[in-house]
Structure 1
Amino acid sequence: MEFSEYKNLWVFIETDDGKAVSGGLELLNPGAQLAHRLGQQVVAVILGKSNDEAEKTAIAYGADSVISVEDDDYEAYSTEGYTYGLVQLVEKYKPSILMIGATIIGRDLGPRLACRLKTGLTADCTELDVDTETGHVAWTRPAFGGNLMATIMCERTRPQMGTVRPGVFKKIAPDASRTAKISKERISVPEGQIRTKLIESIREAVAEMVKLEDAEIIVSGGRGLGGPEGFETVIKPLADALGGAVGASRAAVDSGWIPHVHQVGQTGKTVAPKIYIACGISGAIQHLAGMSGADCIIAVNKDPDAPIFGVADYGIVGDLYQILPAMTAEIKKLKT
């Protein structure tokens, strides 16, 4: 494989109803930093039926150029269809690096695409770096249940591929005045290639899903709640008063107090809200890895020696069942 033929860093921009999803836009930030260190471009790659809005959004968030594939075959995501389209693009343009958000779609698409391209894939990355001399990307991800971090390089094949956890990197401030080249491609999927078909999309169910990655304020509960009732009596009221989302530690989820979709940490979701309030959470390293990107961390715990206070910007030592209702009441007063 002649590596000199491969250049530029691609970011797959996932879309929903023609709009760019946050996970891909987040990756344009580190993608641009790595690409520019290599003297290359960060390219947004979009597959869909009508991509005009997603193209403009990707450019506003830092894409140097855009490759856009429009066809009825890409109106709804399918593993076979999107894999086929991306394989054709990679074989034509030969990118050196391809980054995909580790969303439900990204975790499905990445392995299939890597297999078709006969290259490696590092999944669920939380850190990125690049060797400017060799062009090798250092993909870092949790290993052995989050007890250590492994850094992996793909030294023998191209493109280098990785899926990156949503919420690890922050989007840059969008600039609607930016312009960039948009290359339109027409790639139809051969008849019979797509073996599954979307019959119906139930938006009501999607709306109820917890999107912690997009939340600006998260109130999380842990083992210190003592039971599931704490989420309803003190955590959720505070989150609602703040207009935020409800999170949880692994201990609370494993105890069956709250569904896994709320879990923050190495084995849950990685988040970077403006405010993260950790209530009754001791601060195990696996949990800290999932929320340390928050702009402001507030810890409430009755144990003054809890590790969470070591990373918190503000700490309150005391009974959360007394403190949280008082906070909720004060916030509601400020809104009246």
Structure 2
Amino acid sequence: MKHSIYPRVLFRGGKDTGIIIIFTKIQSLLYEGLKLASRLAIRLLCREIRVNNPAILGLKGPVLLAANHPNSFLDSILLDTLFNEPVWALARGDAFHKKWHARLLRALRIFPVYRTSEGVENLHVNYQTFDNCVALFKQNQIVTIYSEALCVNEWHLRNLKKGTARLAIQAWEAGVPLTVLPVGINYSSFRIIGKNVHINFGEPITAARVPLSKSDGHRHLHFNQCLQEELKKLVYEIAPTDTNRLTQLLESPVSKIEKIILFPFARIGQLIHWPLHYPLQKFTLQKFGKTGHYDSVLSALLLLSYPVYLLLIVVLLWILGISLLLALLIVASFPLLAWSHIRTKKQFDFQ
């Protein structure tokens, strides 16, 4: 019998059976709707996304994506948007403290993982999360885990925590033919909308590479050594002041002819999107400017508000006496004009 891929909720039966069916459908619709919106908007948030092995994006589970974590939840948005199959993710437990936060995150297929610093009393939740992940793997699902645990805006691979090893070994001991796929995520900027992103996939790690008969400490260490070696090949090592290396690795050249052709459209695109971008950027700077979440929060706000902004423009044009058809045609050009601006704007913070 196939079980629901959502966390189990206890109901009394009868009418409650209908409630859980409706609840599950709403969760699924919310997730699918946001994934579709992300796919439409991702080329405006990122001017170039380069994947070293695009065929992997069609992969089916059971797969554990073991990634570095340079840019908060934008990392998850990117991976989930690019993969054909749904991608579940694990996130820091303190994001789940408010009930409505927890409900929203679970609807978006995100599970909590607590660190000791977030309260020893919460560590039992990790066992439930890992059990949920193993259940997902048994249904051939894909899950992302950030092996460094903490998000830091940098071009550097930090030491790996034990969570990835524990989850992978738990799945293997449960008889799941899990593949652990190392993923290196590299951004040209952590402040600019319209960044270049390089996503590098490494060699898979399977149970055959880990001495499962050894002690926990030995096999965790061996697994992390294998994963660290793979991720070192995938994550760019760039000093914060080394602008030459940053440019060499992550610049996407634009020809002078393209810049000349797109220039008038880019300026129009910049102007008509200013009423949306500027206040959101100012708000995000005030609230998150000194954290590693600024870029992700601004990207998410733009992603969620852009359809509303376009709808308001349509209504405004219609009120001004422009026919609905013409208003829709005008607004349909907005994403193209925004793309022109993204193509020609600066690519790095130091420019």
More strand per residue:
1
Larger relative contact order (Cα-Cα within 8 Å, sequence gap ≥ 6): 2
More helix per residue:
2
Same fold (TM over 0.5): no
TM-score (normalised: structure 2): 0.27
TM-score (normalised: structure 1): 0.28
